[in-house]
Amino acid sequence: MIDRYATPEMTAIWSDEARFRHWQEIEVTVCEVRADRGEIPPDAAREIRARATFETARVLEIERTVQHDVIAFLTNLAEHVGPASRFVHQGMTSSDLLDTAFALQIRTAGGVLRAALVDLLDAVEAKAIAHRDTVMMGRSHGVHAEPTTFGLKLLVYWEALRRGLARLDAGIAECSYGKISGAVGTHAHLAPEIEAATCARLGLAAAPVSTQILQRDRHAAFLAAVALVGATLEQMAVEIRNLQRTDVHEVEEPFGKGQKGSSAMPHKKNPIVSEKITGLARLLRGYAHTAAENVALWHERDISHSSVERIVFPDACHTLHHMLLKMRWLVDGLVVFPDQMLANMAKVRGMHFSQVVMLALTEAGVSREDAYAWVQSCAMRVWDEDVPLREAIDADPRITSRLDGATLDRCFDLAHQLRHVPHLFARTLAGKDF
């Protein structure tokens, strides 16, 4: 990951040093399990535990010669362990080390993503509650439809993020499996009990069955979950971008002192963070697609997935973590303009009450087809003659002969139209389970 989007937490998790540290712990743990079973001398296992270490630079130096990262690591480990190193990696294959360590890295990275997502959920919840009653125009096809509230809009995103959290948890669980089953996964040289005990000590589950590798549908599920969280962040970002347009201007990204929006136009305040999140979400979808391509490997294994995973998993975790942190910053500092929301709503001169009037007519016995046509003709007067919808309605005897003034007053009551919003908040937030 380029420095611009890298985060310190993910850099540490996906570093060579961290990967080799996992490899060391796996190899040592297997030796200890085998010693407990009487398969290798206990003194050898204790010596391996005490002396096992590596130097990242030395491993990479050896790899340049042998062209095999695991052999390079084991060679360097043996330089420190000495004669007892003959027990290290006995009966194992490279993927026992690679895939089990990969599971540990994914689980740790997933935990970082989860924490950042929970922080964002808290921020969105707080902002949604604060704006539960901030009335604005709801839009479909980009055109004014019926009123909603800004808080309700945020609540919809909160619920999508909560679903994303559940998917992320499931993806982490899918990848929290190790395998110590040897070449082609038959346990020919290490009993299944060794795999189970080793994985348990590492905090992983043992794969019920594997080939020479763990099956890659697990990893595809994780990146699919990551991409879907990114898609929700993009959904939020696109909405902010639209609402920040000059001709709408209902919200605005934070704009710091000294910040500049354009190299050419001093007046510009652009939604640059939202645009960045939109772009990065495209990367995540590409990574998810690539992970799905890794599922179909040749026979018991090939390594066509390996080069891909070395790029897409660290980068996807960096990318989503960066996006979550930026969206949290954006939500916390988002500037909301309630007066502008009301001013924009006023532009349609009450047309957002058209459905309410139509439904009242059907309740009064008018066919839906006639009710729709009558109200639509009044709405067209609003578009063409710029008269308020209520004025057009009051001038239409077909409608006023069936709906009295009190009924029409209720039809044009904004509070009545939004009366269920508090219930939607109570119902949705009652499901909070993280």
Give dist(CA 100, CA 199) in Å, integer: 8
pLDDT at residue 273, as a whole number: 94
CATH 3.30.930.10 assigned to domain 93-337? The reply is no
DSSP three-state, residue 209: coil
Q: Assess whether pLDDT exceeds 80 at residue 183.
A: yes
Please compute the mean of the pLDDT values over residues 302-309 and round it to a whole number: 90
Round to whole Å and give the CA distance between 281 and 277: 6
Mean pLDDT of 219-226: 97
Residue (of 238, 260, 264, 266) closest to 251 by Cα position: 238
Going from the C-alpha of 346 to that of each of 147, 339, 342, the distances in angstroms are 11, 11, 6
Output the pLDDT for position 129: 97
Report how far apart, in Å, the C-alpha atoms of 152 and of each of 113, 120, 131, 307 are. Answer: 25, 16, 8, 44
Statement: residue 380 has pLDDT above 80: yes
* pLDDT-derived band at 332, boundaries 50, 70, 90: very high
Grade residue 269 by pLDDT with cuts at 50, 70 and 90: confident
Q: What is the pLDDT of residue 261?
A: 74
pLDDT at 320: 98
- Taking the C-alpha atoms of residue 428 and residue 144, their distance in angstroms, rounded to an integer, is 25
Give the angle 255-258-264 at the CA atoms, nearest 5°.
Answer: 85
pLDDT, tens digit, 9 for 90 and up, residues 143-178: 999 999 999 999 999 999 999 999 999 999 999 999
Which tens digits make up the pLDDT trace of 76-117? 999 999 999 999 999 999 999 999 999 999 999 999 999 999
pLDDT value at 344 more than 80 = yes
pLDDT by residue (tens digit) across 64-87? 999 999 999 999 999 999 999 999
* Residue 134 burial class via C-beta count within 10 angstroms: exposed 0-12, middle 13-18, buried 19 and up: buried
pLDDT at 432: 83
User: Residue 27 corresponds to which tokens in the numbers above?
Assistant: 């190899």
Give the integer Cα–Cα distance in Å for 95 and 23: 11
> pLDDT value at position 156?
98
DSSP state of 303: S
CB atoms within 10 A of CB 421: 19
Please give the average per-residue pLDDT across 344-348, as a whole number: 95
Helices and strands counted in the chain (H then E): 19, 6
Active site residue 263: no
Q: What separation in angstroms does the CA of 75 have from each of 80, 83, 112, 408?
A: 9, 12, 32, 85
All residues at 6 or more sequence positions from 219 whose CB lies less than 8 Å from its CB, including other chains: 102, 106, 174, 175, 291, 294, 309, 313
- pLDDT above 90: residue 434: no
Check residues 259 and 221 and name the one with the higher pLDDT. Answer: 221
What does the pLDDT look like over 127-148, one tens digit per residue? 999 999 999 999 999 999 999 9
Cβ-proximal residues to 51 (8 Å cutoff; 6+ apart), any chain: 80, 81, 82, 84
Q: Give the DSSP per-residue string, 396-432.
A: -HHHHTTS-HHHHHHHT-HHHHTTTHHHHHHHHHTT-
Question: Around 355, how many Cα atoms within 13 Å sit in the side-chain half-sphere?
Answer: 7
* Residue 259, pLDDT score: 78
Give me 349's structure tokens. Answer: 């001169």
Give pLDDT, residue 270.
87
**pLDDT above 90 (res 309):** yes
- Listed in sequence order, the residues at least 6 apart from 390 whose beta carbon sits closer than 8 Å to its beta carbon are 350, 353, 408, 412
* Phi, psi (degrees; rounded to nearest 5) at 181: -115, 5
Element (H, E) at 139: strand 135-140
Contact 274/330 with Cβ under 8 angstroms? yes
Per-residue pLDDT at 398 exceeds 90:
yes
Question: What is the band of 341 on the pLDDT scale with cuts at 50, 70, 90?
Answer: very high
Helical (H) or strand (E) element with 148: strand 143-149
Q: Which residues of 299-310 are buried (b: 16+ CB within 10 A; e: fewer)?
A: eebeeebbebbe
Domain residue limits, the chain: 1-90, 93-337, 351-411
141 catalytic residue (yes or no): yes
Is the pLDDT at 405 greater than 80? The verdict is yes
Whether the Cβ atoms of residue 201 and residue 45 lie closer than 8 Å to each other: no
State percent of the chain over pLDDT 70: 100
Q: What is the mean pLDDT of the chain?
A: 95
Between 3.30.2090.10, 1.10.275.10, 2.60.290.11, 1.10.3860.10, what CATH number should domain 1-90 receive? 1.10.275.10
pLDDT in tens, 224-268: 999 999 999 999 999 999 999 999 999 999 887 777 776 777 777
pLDDT on residue 257: 76
- Which three-class secondary structure state does DSSP give residue 145? strand
Percent over 90 (pLDDT), the chain: 93
Which residue from 228, 222, 325, 311 is spatially nearest to 276, judged by alpha carbons?
325
What pLDDT was estimated at residue 8? 96
**Pairing mode of beta strands 251-252, 205-206:** unpaired
Per-residue confidence (pLDDT) for residue 119, from 0 to 100: 98
- Annotated catalytic residue within 262, 304, 367, 377: 262
Catalytic option among 89, 95, 131, 141:
141
